Amino acid sequence: MGWWDFFKRIRLVDIQNSLKTDQAGLVNFRIGGNSYNLHFPDNEAVQKFKSTAITQDFERAVEREVQRRLSYLGPTLDSLPNESVDAVVSGTTTATALDLVKKSN
């Protein structure tokens, strides 16, 4: 699980703070020296995530769900270059947070 170290550096509040009202559906954030540009067509979920309080319980729920989702991809992730793995992990983390926000409201 080489992706775990990268995942531990992702902060939901940084992703949330990267959202701008004129970017509905777009999530752009930086981790270390790399930029991640993601697109989510569910603007309602993006807007809900933007206004959600990032609590420890929410962070733990996202972490558990990301672990579950990525555990199935372990062999595939191990075969990809680091940049691709980082993109998959950041996309999965953001998508998971959006899914959980949408389900909770």
Q: Hey, how many other C-beta atoms are within 10 angstroms of the C-beta on 104?
A: 10
Mean pLDDT of 60-75: 92
pTM attached to this predicted model: 0.87
What local confidence, expressed as pLDDT, does residue 103 receive? Answer: 87
Q: What pLDDT digit, counting tens, does each position of 26-57 carry? A: 778 888 778 888 888 888 888 888 889 999 99
Whether residue 100 is predicted with pLDDT greater than 90 in this model: the reply is: yes
In sequence order, what E strands does 1-105 have?
26-31, 34-39
Can you name the residues that pair with 37 across neighbouring β-strands? 28
Q: Is 55 within 8 Å of 91 (Cβ atoms)?
A: no
| Residues written for the chain | 105
Q: d(Cα 6, Cα 61) in Å, to the nearest integer?
A: 18
Q: d(Cα 14, Cα 29) in Å, to the nearest integer?
A: 7
Q: What pLDDT digit, counting tens, does each position of 1-24 carry? A: 577 888 888 889 888 888 765 556
Q: Give Cα separations from 50 to 19, 28, 35, 61, 102 (angstroms).
A: 7, 13, 19, 17, 12
Of the candidates 29, 20, 93, 10, the residue with the CA atom closest to the CA atom of residue 50: 20
Q: Where are the domains of the chain?
A: 3-104
What local confidence, expressed as pLDDT, does residue 97 receive? Answer: 94
Coil/strand/helix, residue 76: helix
